[in-house]
Structure 1
Amino acid sequence: MSETTAIEKSPSVIKNYIEITKPRLSVVVVFSSIAGYFLAANTYDPWTILLLVVGGYFLVGSSNVFNQIIEKDLDALMKRTQNRPLPTGRVSVQNAWIYGLIMALSGIYMLYLINFATAFFGALSIVLYAAVYTPLKTRTPLCVFVGAFPGAIPYMLGWVAASGNFGIEPGTLFMLQFFWQFPHFWAIGWMLENDYKAGGFKMLPTGAADKGTAMQIILYTIWTVMVSLIPVFGVTGELYMTVWSAVIVGALGAWFLYYAFKLYKERSNEVAKKLMLVSVSYITLIQIIYVVDKFLR
């Protein structure tokens, strides 16, 4: 008689260290930076693009590492995060600190090789995200407002990498991604309300998934769509969009708003999830439309 034993394999060391950088989120953020770069650049330098991709990933990844170090004990309380490498002990806090610092310093140096302004804004995003936003998550719903600042930097960072300075164009890109984060993260907060409460996080503006929160989601969605359309009026310098692209952006905005109003009406986790997915699609498609519009003009 033979006996078989099922052995559950733990993730490899490499996989654990990749996991704590939140690779999917980091790739999305880097995509924003590259979109900003292509919007601003007249000629495209492969070396600069490589530095922006790798350096940007290192900065976002290190921010996520520091975030998880600070929230290790709270992550252990939530179903969504309790199996992460730090709460389970697959990665030690000491090693995570070393790893995060190496990534942060390497990322800042890579962005410095592009230009000083890019390195400055990259370093600022780490400080705001890890040292300000993360501690505030358990103290006040205003954490989302604070977190929207580092979250809005990547899109404009690409423009700064290409131009070397901050002006109306990267300022508009910053404003677009700044307002977008409110409906996006509040939709996530709505979906995960009970899990966040278990960890002590205060992510919703009214403290609950209610009409007040839904109304604020609608307002910030409106502002996001309005800012998305500003380039068509020719008031944002070299950042310009044709009328045809503006029509498409407007249609996407109506799609976004439809789910914001639907959430207000139905107030369900199912609609909140759809709104979150629509918000991700919206910001990604807007970035693509802006770049394609530039090349087709």
Structure 2
Amino acid sequence: MSIDSVNISKTSIIQDFKEITKMRLALSVVFSSVAGYLLGVETISWSTLVLLAIGGYLMVGASNAFNQIIERDLDQLMDRTKNRPIPSGRMSVNTAFIIASIFTILGLTVLYIINPKTAMFGAISIFVYVSLYTPLKTKTPLAVFVGAIPGAIPFMLGWVAATNDFGIEPGTLFMIQFFWQFPHFWAIGWFLFDDYKKGGFFMLPTGKRNKATATQVVMYTVWTIATSLIPVFGVTGSLYITPVSGILVFLSGLFLLKYAIRLYKNKDTKSARQLMLVSVSYITLLQIIYVADKYIRIWI
């Protein structure tokens, strides 16, 4: 075997590993967890921060690997997923299962080292994603509501890792990211509607790209913005943002709402794709504003 062949083989293995664990998604989850940790902690422990990042990545990687094992036959039917490692034949189900199992054990162990509550929420996340959300995707649009639970856990997980406590603060972080999931995933469900249909997935609330679905997208966008502003009013314990940051979050929310309304008006794939991209920018910017607000107040 030539050196070039070996290099190509190594590249392929690395690429398949990234795909089976959905590395980009996992890194976004790690970002949310770190943001939650920085919001909750009084004195930053870099070792805990590293453990949280590793544990968070392993947790999401395990969920995604199990998901791809379960959906391997359906993935073959969709253009978006037919080249994934398992349906393409580049990775066996046994190999994927070993990766998923190792990631689960290591991920929960790492999170348990931080504290037991963090590991408990990590375990809940994997269970709900794999055992409830994944099978429900082909049964009912309510799957998105179930999937929003593990999707919302990372932001609050960081706070729990920092404090070893679950109260109104991490509950609020959970609620923000929970409501945000709906305009985000319904936008994805809209522009990938035809591909999802091939796999038999029900991702839109009405099952159709229509006015009723677009109305719910706008409604949940409004709820996302409203929930994001609750910490301004000083009713969420030690989770607080200043009015200045509240204005920044509100303006970001109006930008998000603009694209949700655009989808309502146009009801087209382009508007849905734009909303999805803006929604990612919104939640990222919100987390940055929350963290920056806290540490600017400390430094001042």
Normalised by the size of structure 2, how large is the TM-score? 0.95
The CA distance in 2 between the partners of 1:294 and 1:14, in whole Å, is 38
Q: How many residues align structurally?
A: 290
Amino acid across the alignment from 1:128: V
Amino acid across the alignment from 2:152: A
Q: 1:3 maps to what in 2?
A: none
The CA distance in 2 between the partners of 1:165 and 1:243, in whole Å, is 27
The CA distance in 2 between the partners of 1:132 and 1:23, in whole Å, is 22
How is 1:106-185 mapped onto 2 (pairs within 5 angstroms)?
A: 106-185=106-185
Q: 1:269 maps to what in 2?
A: 269
- Pairing 1:92–2:92 present: yes
CA apart distance, 1:97: 0.5
The CA distance in 2 between the partners of 1:162 and 1:150, in whole Å, is 19
CA apart distance, 1:253: 0.7
Amino acid across the alignment from 2:109: Y
CA apart distance, 1:47: 0.9
Q: 1:279 maps to what in 2?
A: 279
The CA distance in 2 between the partners of 1:248 and 1:44, in whole Å, is 26
The CA distance in 2 between the partners of 1:13 and 1:251, in whole Å, is 44
Amino acid across the alignment from 2:59: L
Amino acid across the alignment from 1:21: T
Amino acid across the alignment from 1:255: F
How is 1:122-271 mapped onto 2 (pairs within 5 angstroms)?
A: 122-271=122-271
The CA distance in 2 between the partners of 1:136 and 1:240, in whole Å, is 36
CA apart distance, 1:219: 0.6
The CA distance in 1 between the partners of 2:173 and 2:240, in whole Å, is 11
Amino acid across the alignment from 2:17: Y
The CA distance in 1 between the partners of 2:59 and 2:175, in whole Å, is 21
- Pairing 1:76–2:76 present: yes
The answer as to whether partners of 1:58 and 1:107 remain within 8 angstroms in 2 is yes
The answer as to whether partners of 1:17 and 1:91 remain within 8 angstroms in 2 is no
CA apart distance, 1:16: 1.2
Normalised by the size of structure 1, how large is the TM-score? 0.96
**3-state SS of the aligned residue for 2:43?**
coil
Amino acid across the alignment from 1:104: T
Amino acid across the alignment from 1:124: I
Amino acid across the alignment from 1:167: G
The CA distance in 1 between the partners of 2:202 and 2:186, in whole Å, is 11
The CA distance in 2 between the partners of 1:288 and 1:196, in whole Å, is 33
The CA distance in 1 between the partners of 2:106 and 2:14, in whole Å, is 19
CA apart distance, 1:10: 9.1
Following superposition, which runs of at least 4 residues in structure 1 exceed 4 angstroms of deviation? 8-11
CA apart distance, 1:12: 2.1
CA apart distance, 1:19: 1.7
Q: 1:4 maps to what in 2?
A: none
Q: 2:4 maps to what in 1?
A: none
The CA distance in 1 between the partners of 2:43 and 2:9, in whole Å, is 48
Q: 1:294 maps to what in 2?
A: 294
How big is each residue's C-alpha offset from its partner over 1:205-254, in whole Å with a ceiling of 9 and x where there is no partner? 00011101000001100000000000000000000000000111110011
Name stretches of at least 5 consecutive residues in structure 1 with no aligned partner. 1-7
CA shift in 2, pair 1:86/1:268, >3 Å: same
Amino acid across the alignment from 2:38: F
Q: 2:44 maps to what in 1?
A: 44
How big is each residue's C-alpha offset from its partner over 1:151-203, in whole Å with a ceiling of 9 and x where there is no partner? 10000000000000100000000000000000000000000000000000000
